[in-house]
Structure 1
Amino acid sequence: MCLMAEQVPGFGVAVIREDGRWRCAAMDDAALRELDAAITELRRIRSTGAVFGLLAVDDEFFIVLRPSPGGVALLLSDAAAALDYDIAADTLDLLRVEPPDDVDDVWPEGSLDLLADLGLPAAEMQVIVDEMDLYPDEQLQMIAQRLGFADEFAKHLDTILQ
Structure 2
Amino acid sequence: MTTTETSTDLDFAVAAYTEDGEWLVAPLVLRGEPDLSALVSALRRYPGDQGVLGMISVDEDFFILLRVVGGRARLLISDVTAATEWPLAKQVVDELDIPLADDDDEQVPAGDLGIVSDLGMTAMDLGALIDDVDLYPEEMLEEIAEVLGFGERFHEALEAIG
Identify whether the pair has TM-score above 0.5, normalized to the shorter chain.
Answer: yes
CA distance in structure 2 between the aligned counterparts of 1:85 and 1:142, rounded to whole angstroms: 24
CA distance in structure 2 between the aligned counterparts of 1:152 and 1:72, rounded to whole angstroms: 23
Cα distance change on mapping 1:31 and 1:60 into 2, 3 Å = farther
Query: Identity rate of aligned residues, in percent?
Result: 36
Contact 1:32–1:57, Cα closer than 8 Å, also in 2: no
CA distance in structure 2 between the aligned counterparts of 1:104 and 1:91, rounded to whole angstroms: 17
Aligned to 2:155: 154
Contact 1:18–1:47, Cα closer than 8 Å, also in 2: yes
CA distance in structure 1 between the aligned counterparts of 2:115 and 2:60, rounded to whole angstroms: 22
- 1:12-51 aligned at under 5 Å gives the runs 12-30=13-31, 33-51=34-52
**When the two structures are superposed, what TM-score results if normalisation uses the length of structure 2?**
0.90
- For the residue of structure 1 that corresponds to 2:13, the secondary structure is strand
Cα distance change on mapping 1:88 and 1:112 into 2, 3 Å = same
Pairwise CA RMSD of aligned residues?
A: 1.9
CA distance in structure 2 between the aligned counterparts of 1:149 and 1:135, rounded to whole angstroms: 19
Gaps of 5+ in 2: none
Contact 2:67–2:74, Cα closer than 8 Å, also in 1: yes
Shift of 1:118: 0.5
Gaps of 5+ in 1: none
**When the two structures are superposed, what TM-score results if normalisation uses the length of structure 1?**
0.90
CA displacement, residues 13-62 of structure 1 (integer Å, 9 cap, x when unaligned): 00011222101000124497211110010012123333110000110000
Runs of 4+ that moved beyond 6 A = none
The letter of the residue matching 1:71 is R
Aligned to 1:96: 97
Contact 1:31–1:38, Cα closer than 8 Å, also in 2: no
| Stretch moving more, 84-93 or 95-104 | 95-104
CA distance in structure 1 between the aligned counterparts of 2:56 and 2:33, rounded to whole angstroms: 7
CA distance in structure 2 between the aligned counterparts of 1:23 and 1:69, rounded to whole angstroms: 18
The letter of the residue matching 1:77 is S
